[in-house]
Amino acid sequence: MSEESTESTPVSAFAALLEKDGVNIPQVGDIVKGTVVTASKSEVVLDIDGVLMGVVRGPELYAEVDEFSHLKPGDQAEAAVLETENEEGRIELSFRQVGQEKAWEALREAFKDKEIIKIRIIDANKGGLLARYCQINGFLPVSQLAPENYPRISGGDKSKILEKLKSFVGRDFEVSVITLNEDENKIIFSEKDVWNKKQKPALDRYNVGMVVDGRITAITNFGVFLNFDDGMEGLIHISEIAWQRIDSPNELFKVGDHIKAEIVSIDGSKIFLSSKKLQKDPWQEASAKYSVGQVISGSIVKLNPFGLFVKLDEEIHGLAHISQLNLAGKEKLSELFKAGEVRDFEIVSISPAEHRLGLKLAGEVKNEKEGDKKKATKTKKEEISDVSKEDLDLKTDKEGLEAKQEKTDKKDKSDEKKEENKEVSKEV
């Protein structure tokens, strides 16, 4: 008898004996259930049907699933067969394979039923957070972070945003599964969904027009976030911070300030607030303070392609349109005016209801040259006598071209006016 057949006989005989007694021998890939005989951090030994012994070792212990984390003698546990017999004559088993399938099943249920699960953040990039659920990796985008964790960095500094995201590594987040594609191994988590679910029932207590008292938790270029009533949060857009024009919320507030604001809108689970509605509208008294024809000194706060924004006082700003600034043909606004400069302006219109006040530069910007004055005193007859018939024809052609140009200019100004109105609505 060969050495090979000698070695295989005991195993075959043992297998045949087991089969005779009605015991099925597990094959690689099968899932078996056994009773824990011993359990340590390095290995777990299972008694399978009182006949076979199996062992789970090293990375196959898989402590990510609770059911495998705290096993003790006498507990029941399922494991996958890796080898039918190892060097010790035991079945080599794995909790990992079973745990992975249990984890996927949990993810499927969470996705289907919109249940909340807990994930661990393992890394971060500029787009969001790399997360892990029971050794299964997924992604939590920045846009899906809850408000308290969203990286509100003034100016949008990408390095500071990434720094903020990296501070979450090692933390556990409660999330929902919003995308699950097993074929592509693509899983997207959302913390914002969980936050919305928790906040939505609380929104029933609030109505438009209510005043809340809270603390500023973040300041961005577009507004400030106010936390109130133990966890509720709302946004005060920059246009709702003050009646006067401001370039940045940082001009008036800092993180930690306690302020009051009025609820102006509730959209889903989002609350929008206004602090300026709790302040007296200075434009209500603008007509009593200012009048058409009045000349007043104003500080230029901003230059726009269509004119100047001018601060008349701390609360009232006006617009001096470019057509009211006495500019010559090729003169540029930026060459004649500077932000912070104080000049005299005349009020040409005032509309308190629309929060608008029109200005023009007071007085003459330039004196005409003597040569220009003399030329201006010439009569039409004198001009005609000084030119030949040919010159007159050329002049007539020129006037025709100028008339066409004037028509084109009017159309351009009309288009410019439309853009101006859009900008003024934002700025004033």
Quickly list DSSP for 170-206.
T-EEEEEEEEEETTTTEEEEEHHHHHHHHHHHHGGG-
Q: What is the CATH number of the domain that holds 314?
A: 2.40.50.140
Kindly state whether residue 421 falls inside one of the protein's structural domains: no
Kindly state whether residue 319 falls inside one of the protein's structural domains: yes
Same domain, 260 and 335: no
Domain extent for 239? 206-278
- Look at strands 211-220 and 223-228 and give their pairing: antiparallel
Same domain, 139 and 161: yes
Which tokens in the block code for residue 345?
A: 């302006």
Number of domains making up the chain: 4
**DSSP 8-state code for residue 49:** T
Kindly state whether residue 42 falls inside one of the protein's structural domains: yes
CA distances for 29 relative to 53, 80, 81, angstroms: 16, 6, 5
Same domain, 33 and 81: yes
What CA–CA distance (Å, rounded) separates 350 from 357?
A: 4
Same domain, 186 and 215: no
Count the helices and strands in the chain (H runs, E runs). 10, 20
Kindly state whether residue 124 falls inside one of the protein's structural domains: yes
- Look at strands 128-133 and 172-181 and give their pairing: unpaired
Q: Are 67 and 106 spatial neighbours (Cβ–Cβ below 8 Å)? A: no
Same domain, 94 and 120: no
What CA–CA distance (Å, rounded) separates 148 from 163?
A: 16
- Look at strands 317-321 and 43-48 and give their pairing: unpaired
Provide the greatest CA pair distance for the chain. Answer: 138
Which tokens in the block code for residue 285?
A: 């008294």
Same domain, 335 and 272: no
| pLDDT by position in tens, the chain (length 428) | 444 444 444 444 555 555 555 557 888 888 889 999 999 888 899 999 888 899 999 888 876 666 777 889 999 988 999 998 888 889 999 888 888 888 899 999 999 999 999 999 999 999 999 999 988 999 999 999 988 888 877 666 788 899 999 999 999 999 999 999 988 889 999 999 998 888 777 788 889 999 999 999 888 888 999 999 877 889 999 989 988 778 788 888 988 899 999 999 988 778 999 999 998 888 888 888 899 999 999 999 888 888 999 999 888 889 999 989 888 878 888 888 999 999 999 999 998 888 889 999 987 544 443 344 444 444 444 444 444 444 444 444 445 545 555 554 555 455 545 554 544 444 44
pLDDT of residue 376: 42
Last residue of a domain, one of 366, 392, 414: 366
pLDDT of residue 112: 93
Same domain, 92 and 149: no
Same domain, 298 and 316: yes
Kindly state whether residue 170 falls inside one of the protein's structural domains: yes
Which tokens in the block code for residue 410?
A: 């009017």
